[in-house]
Amino acid sequence: MVQTVDYLAIAPPLILALFGLAALFVRYAGFVGLILAGAFEVVLLFSAPRRTFCVDSSCSFVVDDFTLLFQTVTLIAGLVVLLTAHVEIRDTRLPAGEFHFLTLAAMAGALTLAAGRDLVTLLVSLEVVSLPLFALVALRRYDGRSSEAGVKMFLVSVVSTAVMLFGISLVYGATGSLFLDRIGAVLATPSPLESVAGVGVVLVLVGFGFKVSAVPFHFWAPDTYQGSPVAVAAFLSVISKAAGFAGLALVLSIAFGPLASVWGPLVAVLAAVSMTVGNLVALRQKTAMRLLAWSSIAQAGYMLAPLGAAGGGAPLDGLVAATIGYVAIYALMNIGVFAVISVVGWIGEHGGGTLDSYRGLARTHPLTAVALAFFLACLAGLPPGLAGLFAKIVVFQGTILGGYGWLAVIMAVNTVIGLFYYLSWATRLFAPLPEGAAFDRIARPVGAAIGVAAAGTVLMSVAPQLVLGISLGG
C-alpha cells in the first residue's frame, strides 16, 4: 500500500531536522530553521486540521489545535534556549555547531510527538527528544559533574523506555492495535484481556512518570539540572517536560480514557506526592538551579492533578484542557527564569549561582530584576503574574469538578508553601547590593531571550483564553 504524505503537515519538524544538520556547518542556521518552522506554523494555523500517514480512518500524524499549541510553545522556548546559550557557548568553548544540531534534533522530536496519534510514533518521538539530551547534558567535557549528569540521565531514560515499551506491548496484545483511537474503541467494550490492558496502561504511565520527573521517578532531575549547561537545563525543564505531558495527555485521553478508573487514582496520588515533595525540598535549596529542579517536580504535580481527577468520572476534555493550558503557560514563564540565570552567572561551584548571588540585581539591572520577579510571581500564582494565577485557577476547578476535593486541598497547601521560596528569591532582587558585588553586562542575545519570554508571559496574562480553552480533537 502506497500512502500519500502531506508535506505541509510535517513541515515544521522536517525543517528543524534539516536545518539542524545545516547548523553543523553554517552559523545561525539553527535560528533560520526556527523562524522558518514558525512561519509554517502560521500557515498550518489557517489550514488545520490536517492528517497524514493514515490507514483507513486512523492516522499516525494529526495537526489540530492541540498540536499547533504545543509546537508553537516548543518553537518559542527553543528560540529562548538558543539565545540563552549564546554567552555560555562563547565563554566555555562549547561546540556551537553540535549544540545547535542536538537542540534542533530534540525539538524535531518534540514537534513530532505533539502530532503523534499512535503508540510507536509517540515512543520514537519521545526517544528522539531524549537521545540528543544525553549528549547536551554532558557537552561540557571539562566538567566531571556534567558527564555524571549525562550518564545518570541516560540510565534512567533507558529504564523508563524499557518499562514503557513493555507496557505498549501488553496494550497491543490486548487490543490488537497501536492507533490511539482504535485502542480507545477496543477498551470501551468488555474484554477478557482488560486486566492485561490495565497492567499495560500502568506501565506506560510509569514510563511517562520518568519523562516528566514525577515523584517517585524524579531522582535523576536535580543532579542533572545542576550538572548541565544552563540552556540545557532550561530545555529539560520546559521543552522535554512539555513533550512528556503532551504524550501523556494523548495516550490517557484518546487511548486509555475508558480505563480512567484504573489510572485516574494513580495519577492523583502521583500529583499529590510530586507537588508535596517538590515544594518541601525546594524550601531547603540554596542554589537557583536546584531550587528550579525541585520546583519543576512540584509543578509536574499541578499538571498531573486535573488528569488524576478523571478517576472521579468527570469529562476528560475539560480536564485535559486544564493540563494543556497549564503546561503551555508554565513553559513560557519558566523559560524566562532560566534566561535570567544566565545573566547572574553559571561559572563556578554553583550552577546558576546561589540565591544570595541575586541580591541587589535591581540596582544594576532593574528591567532584568523586574522580569525575574514577574516570572517568579507567575510560578507562584500571584498578581501581577496573572498567567500563573489563571492556570492555577483552571487546575483547581478541574480537580474540584472531578470530585477530588482532597487533592484540591493538597494543592492549596502546596501553593502556600511555594509562595515562600518564590517570594524569598524575589525579595533578594531588590535588597541592597552587597559590597564588592557586580553583575556582568547583559549580552544582547540573552536580553532578547528574556524579552521573548516576558512578552509571551504577558500575552498569557492578558489573553489566557488563547491556551486555556484548547482541547484534543482526537
pLDDT above 70 covers a percentage of the chain that reads 95
The distance of Cα 12 from the centroid of its chain, to the nearest Å, equals: 18
Write the pLDDT tens digit of every residue in 243-271. 999 999 999 999 998 998 889 999 999 99
Asked whether 38 and 104 are in contact (CB, 8 A), the reply is no
Radius of gyration of the chain, Cα coordinates, nearest whole angstrom? 21
DSSP state of 236: I
Tell whether the model's pLDDT for residue 351 goes beyond 60. Answer: no
Q: What burial class does residue 7 get, using C-beta atoms within 10 Å of its C-beta: 0-12 exposed, 13-18 middle, 19+ buried?
A: exposed
pLDDT in tens, 397-422: 889 888 888 999 999 999 999 999 99
Per-residue pLDDT averaged across 114-122, rounded? 94
pLDDT value at residue 142:
64
Model pLDDT, residue 472: 63
Q: Which of 319, 294, 283 is nearest to 407 (CA)?
A: 319
Span 24-67, pLDDT tens digits: 999 899 999 999 999 999 999 988 789 988 888 888 999 999 99
Residue 183 pLDDT exceeds 60: yes
Average pLDDT (319-343) is: 90
What confidence score (pLDDT) does residue 296 get? 93
The predicted pLDDT at position 120 comes to 94
Q: Which residue has the cell 517536580?
A: 297
Q: How far is CA 132 from CA 55, 97, 110, 120, 245, in A?
A: 31, 13, 12, 19, 19
Neighbouring-strand partners of residue 55: 58
Which triple of cell numbers denotes residue 367?
A: 528591567
The per-residue pLDDT for 345 is: 60
pLDDT digits (tens, 9 = 90+) for 196-234: 999 999 999 999 998 898 988 888 888 888 888 889 999
Judge whether residue 301 has pLDDT over 50.
Answer: yes
Task: Answer whether residue 343 shows pLDDT above 80.
Answer: no
pLDDT, mean of residues 446-450:
92
pLDDT at 307: 92
Instruction: Name residue 116's beta-bridge partners.
Output: 61
Joined grid coordinates for residue 166: 513493555
- pLDDT of 384-400, one tens digit each? 878 888 989 989 988 98
Average pLDDT in the chain: 88
